[in-house]
Amino acid sequence: MSDTMWQAATLIVPLVLAIVFHEVAHGWVAGLLGDPTAREQRRLSLNPLRHVDPMGTVILPGFLALIKAPVFGWAKPVPVDARRLRDPRRDMMIVAAAGPGTNLVLALLGAIGLGLLARFTTDAAQPGTALLFLAANLQNFIALNIFLAVFNLLPVPPFDGSHIVEGLLPERAAMAYARARPYGLPIMILLLFVLPQIAPNLHIVDRLIFPPVQWLGSWYQSIAQAVAGPEMN
C-alpha cells in the first residue's frame, strides 16, 4: 500500500466517527434541554449516512490532510430549534459545547485504547500490518478529535464557539454578532487560505489553533503512556 493510500485509509474512519459523534451530541443534548427536533428528524443516529456530507466530511478534509494543510470539514448540521429549548440563550451554549466536549471525551477514549494496545502487544518483535493499521487509526482518532474540538470552539460563525460567545454577550450585542453568521465560512476561507498567501508571516493558524492542540495532544499522550506503562516510553 502506498503512503498516500495508507494515510487516507487511516484518516477516513477516525474523521467520520469524530464528526458523527460531534453532531449526534448536539442533537442529544438539545433533546435533554427540551428540543426534540433532531429525534423527530431521525438524526440521533450513529449511521454515518445520516450525517455525512460527501464534500465536507470526506473529500475536503482528506484532501487537506494529504497536502498537509489545516484540516477542517463539516457534516450535515443536526437541526436545533432554539425556540423549543427551555432557556434558549443558556441552552444553546450548552448544546454548542456538547460537540467539542464529545470530541475531547473521544480523544480520551482513543488515548486509553492506544495505551492498552501498547501494553498488550509489547511482546510482538515485529508488529504486523493490522496492528500498525490499528495504532495509526487510534493516533489519528486522537489528533482529529482534538483538532475538531479546538477548531469548532473558534468564535467565528457558524462554529460552536460562536454560539457560546453569542450566549455570553448582552442581548443587543448578541443580535449584532448573529448577523455575521452568513459570512462565517468565507471568513474562515480568508483566514486559512487567502491571508497566508498574502501575509505568510502572520501564522494565524499556528498562533490560534496549534498551541491548544499541541498542549492537549501532549496531555492525551501522557494518558496513553500511563495506561501502557513503561513499554510505551
Which conformational region is residue 69 in: left (phi greater than 0), alpha (psi within -120 to 50 degrees), or beta? Answer: beta
Query: Distance between CA atoms of 218 and 216, rounded to whole angstroms?
Result: 5
DSSP 8-state code for residue 26: H
Q: Name the nearest CA neighbour of 8 among 59, 76, 54, 75.
A: 59
Cβ atoms of 158 and 181 closer than 8 Å: yes
Using DSSP, state whether 233 is helix, strand or coil: coil
> What distance in Å separates the CA atoms of residue 169 and residue 171, rounded to the nearest whole number?
6
Active site residue 166: no
DSSP characters over 178-199: HTTGGGHHHHHHIIIIIHHHH-
Question: Residue 114 corresponds to which amino acid?
Answer: L
Which residue out of 23, 40, 166, 231 is catalytically annotated? 23
Grid-cell match 496492528, residue found? 131
| Rounded-to-integer distance, Cα 29 and Cα 204, Å | 32
Q: Quote the CA–CA distance of 146 and 107 in Å, as a whole number.
A: 6
Which candidate, 123, 136, 124, places its Cα nearest to that of 9? 136
Instruction: List residues with catalytic annotation.
Output: 23
